[in-house]
Amino acid sequence: MYSLPRSRRVRFRPSEPPQEHIQGSQWWTDYQPVSYILTSKRGNRTQFENMITTCHNAGVGVVVDTIFNHMTGIASGTGDFHHCGLEPGDAIVNWDNTLEVWTCQLDGLADLGTDTDYVRGVLAAYANDLLSLGADGMRLDAAKNINVSDIANILSRLSGTPYITQEVIWGAGQPVTPNEYTGNGDVQEFRYTTALQNAFLGGGISSLESFDNLGWVPGTQANVFVTNPDTERNGGSLNDNSPSNTYVTAMIFSLAHPYGTPTILSSYSGFTNTDAGAPNGGTGTCSGSGGLNGWLCQHRWTAVAGMAGFRNNVGDSALQNWVSPQSDQIAFGRGALGFVAINNDDSAWTTNFVTAVPDGSYCDVISGASLEGNCTGSSFSVSGEHSAQPFQSERRCNPHRCNGHRFRQWTSSEHFVVGSISQLGDWDPASAIALSAASYPVWTVSVSVPANTEFQYKFIRKETDGSIVWESDPNRDDTSPASGSQTIDTSWR
């Protein structure tokens, strides 16, 4: 399972391929389809639809792992497949040959003739079937092995505009590149995964400030991840067995940094047998802030869940106030809405930080959530010239059970307007009207007030510890116009 938080306030839960596949308990059997009937080792069509409904009721969208490139390997026959004739057994051998990459067989799997109208129609019908059941998007497996124009043609036949992300693995000097697929949707950027692995395992995380200047997929279309089902098994990324908490800290970074749309893999432990399928016959067991009976359930880890909320809160806010006193210590802000500090060094880091978040108290979302205005974990204060109070952090802590000493995040306190009329809460802070920080440093709100009505009002700030901060006296006075609207431009005092 994946979790794919978008930069806007949406959450996605990508599902594994739901169509009928070859038999076997190995995890990779899911990626060898034999038909487009929605029956797999996870359930049938009705159960798949019920899963989507359950996710939607929880405010979570569903992106389906979709296979357009191939069917399972077959020993003979022609059918609607490519037979490139370029290599023995039609296998892909030379990745420097575009025709071979697009028309020969990947790992012996029957390569679909996606350049034919019939195959395009069948694949589009399958995708539209998924969308009719409520799917919100698709991850196109092995997209690199499909001609870009073939994918474009198939997508042009879909109902609506679902979210699309494409698996296109970059290879040095190879002619088929991730960037040429951006016209079809987002593209998975595997170089990012390698960069995080190298940086967190000794290369220095100070190198991770910017990615948009590297010639990679632009951040607005990059789908990034710390690990995926392939790389966590083949050593191509960090995973749950990585040392010194680097796996969870890299996920913290990925959810905090504005580059790309991050994917979080939720999986199971082990990998002594890299072919092994999911434990308990594929029946997931997630509980509390983790998993049971071999399941990791990374999406439930306190740090990961907290940072998913952090990312939704900061939205598209720019990265600023980057600080890196040495190669394995970084801190940065996301506009006025959040701040993160990460220490990947064995020694403690004690310092103050300059941040753009307004004065107030903030929850460390790594150690616990904000619940009804109160922090369930640690909290921090910002005051004066927006300098966060000092903290100590160090590298040593157990993976995903770390209590937050290695990294700190802040999300901004909330501002409200309250006043003398019912439309402004009758001076009751509990009924105050929330202001939006979407245009920070300008906070805005629209309120409907009866015509020709005199009223008084003040701005307040609700701190994460539940306390209320009122701006200075006296009360503000105003009268609503006889018709139309009125804009009040003022400042906190």
Can you say whether the dihedral through the CA atoms of 75, 76, 82, 86 is positive or negative?
positive
**Do the Cβ atoms of 295 and 275 come closer than 8 Å?**
no
**Do the Cβ atoms of 256 and 334 come closer than 8 Å?**
yes
Which residues share a beta bridge with 416?
434, 460
CA distances from 440 to 318, 335, 373, 462 (A): 11, 8, 21, 17
Judging by beta carbons within 10 Å of its beta carbon (0-12, 13-18, 19+), is residue 276 exposed, middle or buried? middle
Q: Out of 100, 141, 328, 345, pick the active-site residue.
A: 141
**Do the Cβ atoms of 184 and 148 come closer than 8 Å?**
yes
454 counts as catalytic? no
Which residues share a beta bridge with 458?
418
- Nearest-Å Rg of the Cα atoms of the chain is 26
**Do the Cβ atoms of 131 and 162 come closer than 8 Å?**
yes
167 counts as catalytic? yes
Distance, in Å, from the CA atom of 313 to the CA atom of 32, rounded to the nearest integer, reads 39
Q: Out of 167, 189, 232, 240, pick the active-site residue.
A: 167
Distance, in Å, from the CA atom of 353 to the CA atom of 410, rounded to the nearest integer, reads 12
Please name the residue ranges forming H helices in 179-245.
190-198, 231-234
Known catalytic residues? 141, 167
